[in-house]
Amino acid sequence: MNNNGTILSVNDLRTYFQTEDGIVKAVDGITFTLEKGETLGIVGESGSGKSVTNLSVMRLIPEPPGKIVAGDIIFNGIDVRALSIDQVRKIRGKRMAMIFQDPMTSLNPFLKISTQLMEVTRLHLGHSKQEAYQHAIKMLETVGIPDAESRVDGYPHEFSGGMRQRVMIAMALSCDPELLIADEPTTALDVTIQAQILELIKDLKARMGTSVILITHDLGVVAGMTDKIIVMYAGKVFEQAPTRELFRTPANPYTKGLLRSVPDPAHEQGKELYQIPGLPPDVAHLPPGCPFAERCERAEDICRREFPPFVQINADHHSLCHFADEVYAESVREAESAALPVNRDTE
């Protein structure tokens, strides 16, 4: 972790959607900071608000029905919410870029790969056609597309899913952005391809010094990639901690549930894999208490009655739970009694 300044700080962000069922608080009071060169993982089930958080940072929330109703987004000292949309466009694609979940639909099927790559650098770096073309080839080579020179003039449908995601990454990194947001970059891909793409992102990050936000529903994906992790549930941050600590000593029952449901290579044959019971709540009609209470193993009356506090465990570790301290203490005990050489931590 090289602490040479904060690249992104999000404070009490609230993004709501107007729907037929009423107002959906997709993101409701999210706070985090990302230091330069750091990788942040945002984990949660679908509908937890992790994608909306990052679309808000890029100011890509479709409006209406969505709206950022409160909070600050400070990117490199720039107040993103205060910018005009034209000023935001100068940052998008140049200083912060995004990779989306489904590479099959995220590339324009009607345009050549070269066209789609070239337009970014021609817009932001003032490249001539020739420069942009050469740069496009160079970027495709960088992300490991074989025979880039001939494939650059192909169309997306001529590429496989993994290759398309590489093209997306090449496009996102074309202008050497300071921040890269990867929204479930591997979810739509085959398991074997997933590892390659993650390795590529990790490698490029190290080479280019980009700060990364990695959004995923899969704790297994973020384990070896991130410096710290935010766990989101129903539009709220449930737990926030450095990666190592979160895996070793989680202080939230939801995080513990997620950790238990990650398949372990050393998983005993025939032993049942844990799954969190129930379904994510309907964000339009949240109960007054803890949104996770219905599915929580250790929920008590207070959980259904009162909204839980955001408890600070230590300087970098927070948890949204009435019993955060107890859960934490329990995790510490478990970790010590098992004398685990914390095997999930790859650091």
Nearer to other proteins, 218 or 325 (CB): 218
> Minimal distance in Å, beta carbon 339 to other proteins?
28
Give me the 60-79 binding string for other proteins, x by CB under 8 A, dash otherwise. x-x--xx-------------
Q: Does 157 bind other proteins (CB under 8 A)?
A: yes
**Beta strands, E only, 121-193:** 179-183
Q: Does 275 bind other proteins (CB under 8 A)?
A: yes
> Minimal distance in Å, beta carbon 309 to other proteins?
27
Side-chain half-sphere of 92: how many Cα atoms within 13 Å?
17
Q: Does 197 bind other proteins (CB under 8 A)?
A: no
224 is written with which tokens?
């070896």
Among 42, 91, 118, 299, binds other proteins (CB under 8 A): 91
Q: Does 86 bind other proteins (CB under 8 A)?
A: yes
- The β-bridge relationship of strands 179-183 and 211-216 is parallel
Q: Does 191 bind other proteins (CB under 8 A)?
A: yes
Distance CA 180, CA 225 (A): 14
Q: Does 20 bind other proteins (CB under 8 A)?
A: yes
Among 263, 266, 337, 338, binds other proteins (CB under 8 A): 263
Q: Does 153 bind other proteins (CB under 8 A)?
A: no
Place of tokens 């739509």: 188
Nearer to other proteins, 7 or 98 (CB): 98
Q: Are 39 and 226 in contact (CB under 8 A)?
A: yes
AA identity, residue 28? D
Q: Does 90 bind other proteins (CB under 8 A)?
A: yes
Other beta carbons less than 10 A from residue 31's beta carbon? 16
Give me the 168-187 binding string for other proteins, x by CB under 8 A, dash otherwise. x--x---------------x
> Minimal distance in Å, beta carbon 44 to other proteins?
9
Cβ contacts of 115-121, under 8 Å, gap ≥ 24: 116/167, 116/171, 117/152, 117/167, 117/170, 117/171, 117/174, 120/93, 120/94, 120/171, 120/174, 120/175, 121/174, 121/175
Nearer to other proteins, 177 or 242 (CB): 177
What's phi and psi for 203, nearest 5 deg? -65, -45
Among 277, 288, 306, 336, binds other proteins (CB under 8 A): 277
In DSSP terms, 66 is beta-bridged to: 17
Q: Does 160 bind other proteins (CB under 8 A)?
A: no
Q: Does 98 bind other proteins (CB under 8 A)?
A: yes
Distance CA 199, CA 214 (A): 13
AA identity, residue 101? Q
Q: What is the DSSP string of 220-262?
A: HHHHTT-SEEEEEETTEEEEEEEHHHHHHS--SHHHHHHHHTS
Q: Are 46 and 283 in contact (CB under 8 A)?
A: no
Part of the chain binding other proteins (CB under 8 A), chosen from 42-50, 195-203, 238-246, 304-312: 42-50
- Interface of this chain with other proteins, residues 99 to 128, rule: CB under 8 A: 100, 102, 105-112, 119-120, 123-124
Among 25, 94, 205, 256, binds other proteins (CB under 8 A): 94
> Minimal distance in Å, beta carbon 155 to other proteins?
4
Distance CA 239, CA 320 (A): 6
> Minimal distance in Å, beta carbon 333 to other proteins?
26
Distance CA 86, CA 132 (A): 23
Q: Does 261 bind other proteins (CB under 8 A)?
A: yes
Binding residues for other proteins (CB under 8 A): 17-20, 45-47, 58, 60, 62, 65-66, 86, 89-94, 97-98, 100, 102, 105-112, 119-120, 123-124, 155, 157, 168, 171, 187, 191, 217-218, 261, 263, 272-273, 275-277, 279-280
